[in-house]
Chains A and B, each alone.
Chain A
Amino acid sequence: AQSVTQPDIHITVSEGASLELRCNYSYGATPYLFWYVQSPGQGLQLLLKYFSGDTLVQGIKGFEAEFKRSQSSFNLRKPSVHWSDAAEYFCAVLMEYGNKLVFGAGTILRVKS
């Protein structure tokens, strides 16, 4: 069955440190992949997406993600985390002919000063 796994429920990093959030997917066809961010009490904001082409994609707020087909992964990275990045991050795969997004369970990022 198609699924998205985010192995880390919580991650804490120091402000200014680098960040990597992991995402693995299970899908038979070429995946369309997304990262969304959700601040407390808010909806989902699109950070970046991968459809095809260059496997390293750039997004908003200084985030990037790399698609690795051999590892079925789409990890999110940021070189230097800011306190305002504290939020919950969701990885998602667009499935069923673009009919629905399947989300991971999310990773809560805490930033310590």
Chain B
Amino acid sequence: ETGVTQSPTHLIKTRGQQVTLRCSSQSGHNTVSWYQQALGQGPQFIFQYYREEENGRGNFPPRFSGLQFPNYSSELNVNALELDDSALYLCASTQWVSGANVLTFGAGSRLTVL
């Protein structure tokens, strides 16, 4: 039981469409981050939100956007989907443990773009 739940678990879209992925983290975890894991690769940092504001971004274009809500849920939105957006998208909530951040990941949403 990770305490981080993601939905949907799987979805299929076509090129050019838009998608919204959702994440619910534990109460009190006010930092959430999103990662993209392409097949056969390690996860890549997309962005992080802290208290509903974007607080860091990786090398992803603006068509990747996010929202964080007061109830500790968040969304990842991707516009104008491309074939290369096919990946597992992971949400993580952050706890401050022993002087550093520890990330707890959800099971992910697997997106296939056709």
Instruction: List A residues at the B interface (Cβ < 8 Å).
Output: 4, 32, 34, 36, 41-46, 49, 51-52, 90, 92, 94, 96, 98-106
New A-B contacts (14) at CB < 8 Å, excluding given A43-B2, A46-B103, A92-B42: A32-B100, A36-B105, A43-B108, A46-B102, A49-B102, A94-B101, A98-B100, A99-B55, A99-B56, A101-B43, A101-B45, A101-B103, A103-B44, A106-B41
A-B contact pairs, 28 of them (CB 8 A): A4-B42, A32-B100, A42-B107, A42-B108, A43-B2, A43-B4, A43-B107, A44-B43, A44-B90, A44-B105, A45-B2, A46-B103, A51-B98, A51-B100, A90-B43, A92-B42, A94-B100, A99-B56, A100-B48, A100-B56, A100-B58, A101-B43, A102-B45, A103-B43, A103-B44, A105-B40, A105-B41, A106-B41
Residue count of chain B within 8 Å CB distance of chain A: 29
- Chain B residue nearest to A106 in the complex (CB): B42
Let me know if B100 and A100 touch, CB within 8 A. Answer: no
Instruction: List B residues at the A interface (Cβ < 8 Å).
Output: 2, 4, 6, 33, 35, 40-45, 48, 55-56, 58, 90, 97-108, 110
Task: Determine which residue in A34, A43, A101 has the highest number of CB atoms from chain B within 10 A of its CB, and name it.
Answer: A43
Q: How far, in whole Å, are A10 and B56 apart by their CA atoms in the complex?
A: 33
